[in-house]
Chain A
């Protein structure tokens, strides 16, 4: 035979799966939330998303080309995911230059400095978000009030607080939860579920995020472990505190539909790179995220704790990986006959 055969170790077949496919599945899953943000925040939302994505991809490209001088991997879609997530985590009226700073921190510091895709210990978009939140607290917390923009006004004018912000302010002013909930600026649960609430661009509509999450479940990009453990523990913790003192602690349902919980649970806590790998580990991690989120919401200085909770648990992921090994086959004692 004059033709050379390929020699390689088994297995000789490969599942029809790749990093690119996973990343694009996440991007598709974010489309519903993206449409909601366009609906409520109009052209400003489009501006933030485009700037964030272009900046993230460009930063990764420049670092790979001129600093690392390695292979270009920008077409795997991971920088786009980070870009969209960063956009989702900021208000729609954020100045363009601040978004670019966020992208440089997200990709440059949180991802590429550690070695690029797969090497980052913390979720890049969250690092960027928290950096911006601490550095530009005013710009990062003046949320435009969501008003359907099409077909009339295309940009925002009025800003207002988020439901969690209203709650925190009220509690600091020694009002009871019942009074705070009855305040005119507090949206109803249904409105919060749909998206009529102040907040960062991508986090306002729980329904749109859940829709995207269902898609990721179907495509097997995420498993049930982290979302269920996260939501379950947050709900249980909020529920217990609510039963203890309903005048100081809000209804757990309120906590489920407000703030960045749904965005965090489905799109950021489940980030493969920075979360633990075994089923047991993922459940521990999810519970940790849920508890820390609620601790910050109840007793912390910030009204919202999702970003911090996930980043803190990201730091624990290696320890969790080491401590909670998967169930090995053959570790059972044999029943002697």
Chain B
């Protein structure tokens, strides 16, 4: 069975919610829609306080090459436009809307009918994806339309669809593949047309045999799309690792996946593309898993963007007594949240409720030079060494040791028997070295 070669770990999967069908979560009385839910420049607000908006109406428009449109996920009146604490703990601008009965903007097809025929051309598709504010739903939230524009001199050969979901606990992609398989495949066909590629490969880890089987059946009606079962190994969902696993090609250090002729998109993104292109529906809702050892009822919800996390937790059985930590995303790469009032955004794949006894880190001890961090690093780095270099502020050495190649998967810190905060230091090193590299460009 295929997988990537270098490094990797296998944390306990704990996919409690893999059987829980997606439930539509009713939107709350008030939603908070941040204007920066994507990688790149925040969008520019085009609405005013007090204005009435309909579901799917544009709230903020893309401002710059790497940016994305933001649409209203609800119908209602704009209460105000103000800074709201987001999932990273910073206060960022958001449009706050008091909701009314759901009324969709004109031109949006809200029926369940599946539209199979792709009528738009290459550039129209890319424009539509941009208009509908589609960004990568795997977590990095890179604007999808930008990814579709292959730079001059490069050619796309394969579209890689990421259905790996290698993070423990999370099941949102899994449920989406099970319940929206056909929409997803049409979305993939649309992306293939936009990119001009003949082949698409869907990579799924074999801890989801039902999804592999389901899609393998559906895929027979689509030309050029294949489903590949992958051996369970974290971080296979990292795009460089996934390309390596499926094609055997390696993205060169510091370069983008297109160097290997591959474009990688998440399964959720494919569904969003389908809805944007075929149904004219902006990206205003997504599947979010609410799970964890402290969760009373692990569930998967279809949630409108801007819904406060408390609403989801409430629906999944309420705040547990022994709650110690709330994570936005998976346990390996997710962020610990400062407040459960923060809103769901386009990139939210899951909410993890961690019990008190697992919330704290283990005691830090001396490095015993066991070398396990090297063994598990999927980028072939030496986390122990970079950590020491960062502690001693030897940033030139850290750069030479490829600190910028780190994908922050956390495998080193996960596996460290001394419980050392390796990734904390590597992140610090990345930010310092990044600053140095940028200042070099200015001279």
A interface residues (Cβ-Cβ under 8 A, vs B): 1, 3, 5-15, 17-19, 21-22, 73, 76, 115-119, 223, 272-279, 282, 321, 325-334, 337
Is there contact, CB below 8 Å, between B361 and A10?
Answer: no
A-B complex: 3 closest residue pairs judged by Cβ atoms: A11-B410, A277-B371, A118-B366
Is there contact, CB below 8 Å, between A15 and B414?
Answer: yes
B413 within 8 A of A: yes
24 interchain pairs, CB-CB under 8 A: A6-B324, A7-B337, A8-B361, A10-B336, A10-B423, A12-B336, A13-B12, A15-B9, A15-B417, A18-B362, A18-B418, A73-B365, A117-B366, A118-B367, A118-B418, A272-B368, A272-B369, A272-B371, A277-B382, A278-B382, A330-B251, A330-B379, A330-B405, A332-B250
Shortest distance from the beta carbon of A142 to any chain B beta carbon, whole Å? 36
Is there contact, CB below 8 Å, between B384 and A277?
Answer: yes
Closest to A322 in B: B385
Is there contact, CB below 8 Å, between A11 and B333?
Answer: yes
B411-443 to A contact mask, C-beta < 8 Å, 1/0: 101111111010110010000000000000000
Closest to A225 in B: B371
Residues of A within 8 A of B6 (CB): 327, 329
Our pick among B359, B401, B405 for the contact of A329 (Cβ within 8 Å) is: B405
B378 within 8 A of A: yes
Question: In whole angstroms, how far apart are the Cα atoms of A22 and B369 in the complex?
Answer: 12
Interface residues of B in 362-390 (CB under 8 A from A): 362, 365-371, 374-375, 377-382, 384-385
**Chain B interface, number of residues (Cβ within 8 angstroms):** 77
Shortest distance from the beta carbon of B170 to any chain A beta carbon, whole Å? 13
Shortest distance from the beta carbon of B420 to any chain A beta carbon, whole Å? 10
Question: In whole angstroms, how far apart are the Cα atoms of A296 and B240 in the complex?
Answer: 48
Question: In whole angstroms, how far apart are the Cα atoms of A279 and B7 in the complex?
Answer: 12
Question: In whole angstroms, how far apart are the Cα atoms of A14 and B380 in the complex?
Answer: 20
Is there contact, CB below 8 Å, between B252 and A334?
Answer: yes
Interface residues of B in 328-361 (CB under 8 A from A): 329, 331-338, 340, 352, 354, 358-361
B132 within 8 A of A: no
Our pick among B12, B382, B414 for the contact of A325 (Cβ within 8 Å) is: B382
Is there contact, CB below 8 Å, between A13 and B417?
Answer: no
Interface residues of B in 139-160 (CB under 8 A from A): 155, 157
Our pick among B89, B334, B369, B379 for the contact of A12 (Cβ within 8 Å) is: B334
- With A5-B337, A15-B9, A337-B261 known as contacts, the answer to whether A22 contacts B380 (CB < 8 A) is no
B402 within 8 A of A: yes
Residues of B within 8 A of A12 (CB): 325, 327, 331-332, 334, 336, 352, 354
B220 within 8 A of A: no
Is there contact, CB below 8 Å, between A6 and B423?
Answer: no
Closest to B9 in A: A15
Residues of A within 8 A of B360 (CB): 6, 8
Shortest distance from the beta carbon of A118 to any chain B beta carbon, whole Å? 4
Question: In whole angstroms, how far apart are the Cα atoms of A223 and B405 in the complex?
Answer: 26
Shortest distance from the beta carbon of B375 to any chain A beta carbon, whole Å? 8
- With A5-B326, A6-B336, A9-B424 known as contacts, the answer to whether A328 contacts B371 (CB < 8 A) is no
Residues of A within 8 A of B37 (CB): none
Is there contact, CB below 8 Å, between A327 and B359?
Answer: no
Closest to B234 in A: A11
Is there contact, CB below 8 Å, between A326 and B374?
Answer: yes
Residues of A within 8 A of B255 (CB): 330
Question: In whole angstroms, how far apart are the Cα atoms of A331 and B250 in the complex?
Answer: 8
Residues of B within 8 A of A6 (CB): 324-325, 336, 354, 359-360
Residues of B within 8 A of A3 (CB): 323
Residues of B within 8 A of A321 (CB): 385
Closest to B261 in A: A337
B11 within 8 A of A: yes
Residues of A within 8 A of B168 (CB): 13
Residues of B within 8 A of A275 (CB): 369
B240-257 to A contact mask, C-beta < 8 Å, 1/0: 100010000111111100
Residues of A within 8 A of B374 (CB): 277-278, 326
Shortest distance from the beta carbon of A23 to any chain B beta carbon, whole Å? 9
Question: In whole angstroms, how far apart are the Cα atoms of A6 and B357 in the complex?
Answer: 11
Is there contact, CB below 8 Å, between B417 and A18?
Answer: yes
- With A15-B414, A18-B419, A328-B402 known as contacts, the answer to whether A1 contacts B366 (CB < 8 A) is no
16 further A-B contacts with Cβ under 8 Å, apart from A1-B319, A282-B371, A329-B378, are A7-B337, A8-B361, A9-B423, A10-B332, A12-B327, A13-B11, A14-B361, A117-B365, A118-B367, A118-B418, A277-B369, A277-B382, A326-B380, A326-B381, A329-B379, A331-B380
Question: In whole angstroms, how far apart are the Cα atoms of A315 and B250 in the complex?
Answer: 36
Residues of B within 8 A of A325 (CB): 382, 401
Shortest distance from the beta carbon of B366 to any chain A beta carbon, whole Å? 4
Closest to B365 in A: A19
Is there contact, CB below 8 Å, between A117 and B382?
Answer: no
Residues of B within 8 A of A17 (CB): 415-417
Closest to B340 in A: A1
Residues of A within 8 A of B401 (CB): 325
Residues of B within 8 A of A330 (CB): 240, 250-255, 379, 405
Is there contact, CB below 8 Å, between A10 and B333?
Answer: yes
